């Protein structure tokens, strides 16, 4: 089974701290995503990457950056954490090639990191 592992299940950080959320997948997937999930707002896409060193902004990239130095690892960085970034963060990976060859499975999500900024 594909595994997407997020480094921490729960994290508490102080306002202004630099925060790294790590995500690792073990299936050689090209595409990786970071979402945040908030009550009443659902899942919102922050950033995604379809290749090493490539990144694309999602719907809410402000206040975040990402790093993809290796294919299996996609990091989300909060440069200066703020209380409004308190949320559940979800990483996902998948193989949905741009040449439209369709694999017989969807994207796999990690279990999430619940980040609290105080």
Partner 1 sequence: DAKTTQPNSMESNEEEPVHLPCNHSTISGTDYIHWYRQLPSQGPEYVIHGLTSNVNNRMASLAIAEDRKSSTLILHRATLRDAAVYYCILVYGQNFVFGPGTRLSVLP
- Which residues contact partner 1 by CB under 8 A? 4, 31, 35, 42-45, 48, 50, 56, 58-59, 90, 92, 96, 98, 100, 102, 105-112
- Minimum CB separation of residue 106 from partner 1 in Å reads 3
- Minimum CB separation of residue 72 from partner 1 in Å reads 17
Kindly tell me which of 35 and 78 has the beta carbon lying closer to partner 1: 35
Residues 6+ apart with CB under 8 A from 118: 12, 13, 14, 15, 83
Contact 55, 73 (CB under 8 A): no
- Minimum CB separation of residue 91 from partner 1 in Å reads 8
Query: How far apart, in whole angstroms, are the C-alpha atoms of residue 83 and residue 57?
Result: 22
- Minimum CB separation of residue 48 from partner 1 in Å reads 6
Backbone φ and ψ of 57, nearest 5°: -75, 140
Kindly tell me which of 35 and 64 has the beta carbon lying closer to partner 1: 35
Rounded to 10 degrees, the C-alpha dihedral 73/90/114/43 comes to 150
């Amino acid at each position: 089974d594909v595994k997407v592992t997020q480094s921490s299940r729960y994290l508490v950080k102080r306002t202004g701290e630099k925060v790294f959320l790590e995500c690792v997948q073990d299936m050689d997937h090209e595409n990786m995503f970071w979402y945040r999930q908030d009550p009443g707002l659902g899942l919102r896409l922050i950033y995604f990457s379809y290749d090493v060193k490539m990144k694309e902004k999602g719907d809410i990239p402000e206040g975040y950056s990402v790093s993809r130095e290796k294919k299996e690892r996609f990091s989300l960085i909060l440069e200066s954490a703020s209380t409004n970034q308190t949320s559940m963060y979800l990483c996902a990976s998948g193989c949905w090639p741009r040449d439209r060859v369709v694999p017989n499975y969807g994207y796999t999500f990690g279990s999430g990191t619940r980040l609290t900024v105080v």
